[in-house]
Amino acid sequence: MRNRVVHLMGEKQAKEGRPITASVVARETGLTRAAISKWVRGEVVEFREDIIERLCVYFNCDIGDLLYLERSKPQGEGTNSLN
C-alpha cells in the first residue's frame, strides 16, 4: 500500500499559495511531526484510522485519494489469483 501525501501537499500548496511542509501538516492536523514524516517518506506500516481520517479532512479528499495499492505483478499472476 502506498500513499499520496506528498502529492496532496503539493496540490494544497498550489491552491492556497503558501508552503505546506510536514511541520505545517502536523501543526494543522494535530498529528505529530514524526507521524507526518513517516507518511512523507512512505514508511508507514500501520494505517491508523484516526490518522487517515485527519489527513482526509485536512486535504479534503477521500481515502482513495490518499492511499492506493501498488501492484508489483500483473493482475492474475501469483498464488493469490482468483482464477
Instruction: Please report, for the domain that includes residue 16, its CATH number.
Output: 1.10.260.40
**Portion of the chain with pLDDT greater than 90, in percent:** 82
Q: What is the reported pTM?
A: 0.83
* Tally of domains within the chain: 1
Whether 75 maps to a domain, the answer reads no
Whether 46 maps to a domain, the answer reads yes
Per-residue pLDDT at 15 exceeds 60 = yes
Whether 76 maps to a domain, the answer reads no
Whether 77 maps to a domain, the answer reads no
Domain residues for the domain of 61 are 2-68
Residue 42: closest CA among 77, 10, 6, 8 = 6
Per-residue pLDDT at 77 exceeds 60 = no
DSSP 8-state secondary structure symbol assigned to residue 2: E
CA dihedral 48, 52, 53, 59 (to 10 degrees): 160
C-alpha cell at 49: 484510522
Backbone angles phi, psi at 60, to 5 degrees: 55, 55
Whether 16 maps to a domain, the answer reads yes
Q: Could you give the count of Cα atoms lying within 13 Å of 70 in the half-sphere of its Cβ?
A: 7
Whether 80 maps to a domain, the answer reads no
